[in-house]
């Protein structure tokens, strides 16, 4: 039988897998769908889960979700030779989570590095995925820096907003769980 300390990463991993499964199919969301949580899921997995195998599990889940979505009739527009660059895209988020794990403390001051790491990781991840798509997809026959910059500025805000929204919700849940455990521990003494 697993101890509660051993069960915690399993529960967190299952929750992250579930969150990506629920949101991966609609990147920006709508009134009917939540925005894609994939970037946040990779950052949170890097923070919470010690095993690097979870990175591979989540990469596999993302690819499977994309495959099933396309098989279900969604356009395959985004699946080009640039698709392989989703690996370093998500690895950038994972590494951001690993970095935050090193600097995390139980104080309000931890929100500044969390915010900085979340924003920088998301911008780097977006630059990798968006840049590779722009250069390698074949949809832009005469690429230019100005055209790329215009697209970058247009599409970054919704990715950044949805990623930070999920990370903020996770931080609130994290703090609430910690406060609950601390209260329970004090009450049982």
Q: What percentage of residues in the chain have a pLDDT greater than 90?
A: 56
- Provide the CB-side half-sphere exposure for 134 (13 A, CA): 18
**Distance (Å, rounded) from C-alpha 20 to C-alpha 25?**
9
Name the more confident of 80 and 85. 85
**Crossing angle for the helix pair 53-71 and 38-48, to the nearest 10 degrees:** 160
pLDDT of 125 reads: 97
State the pLDDT at residue 184: 54
Percent of the chain, pLDDT > 70? 86
What values do phi and psi take at 143, rounded to 5?
-65, 140
pTM here is 0.88
Q: CA 170 to CA 162: how far, in whole Å?
A: 12
Q: Is the predicted pLDDT of residue 105 greater than 50, yes or no?
A: yes
Please give the Cα distance from 54 to 52 (Å, whole number).
Answer: 5
Contact (Cβ atoms closer than 8 angstroms) between residue 38 and residue 29: no
Q: Which residue has the higher pLDDT, 72 or 164?
A: 164
Question: Cα separation of 52 and 71, whole Å?
Answer: 29
DSSP H/E element including 79: none
2 phi and psi, to 5 degrees? -85, 140
């Amino acid at each position: 039988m697993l101890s509660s300390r051993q069960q915690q990463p399993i529960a967190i991993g299952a929750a992250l897998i579930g969150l990506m499964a629920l949101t991966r199919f609609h990147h920006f969301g709508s009134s009917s769908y939540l925005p894609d949580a994939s970037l946040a899921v990779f950052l949170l997995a890097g923070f919470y889960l010690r095993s690097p195998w979870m990175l591979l599990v989540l990469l596999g889940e993302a690819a499977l979700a994309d495959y099933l979505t396309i098989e279900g009739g969604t356009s395959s527009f985004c699946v080009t030779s640039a698709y392989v660059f989703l690996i370093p895209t998500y690895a950038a988020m994972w590494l951001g989570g690993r970095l935050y794990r090193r600097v995390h403390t139980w104080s309000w001051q931890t929100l500044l590095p969390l915010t900085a790491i979340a924003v920088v990781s998301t911008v780097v991840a977006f630059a990798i995925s968006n840049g590779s798509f722009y250069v390698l997809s074949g949809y832009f026959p005469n690429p230019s820096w100005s055209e790329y910059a215009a697209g970058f500025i247009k599409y970054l805000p919704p990715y950044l907003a949805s990623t930070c929204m999920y990370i903020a919700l996770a931080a609130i849940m994290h703090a609430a769980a910690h406060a609950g455990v601390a209260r329970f521990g004090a009450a049982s003494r």
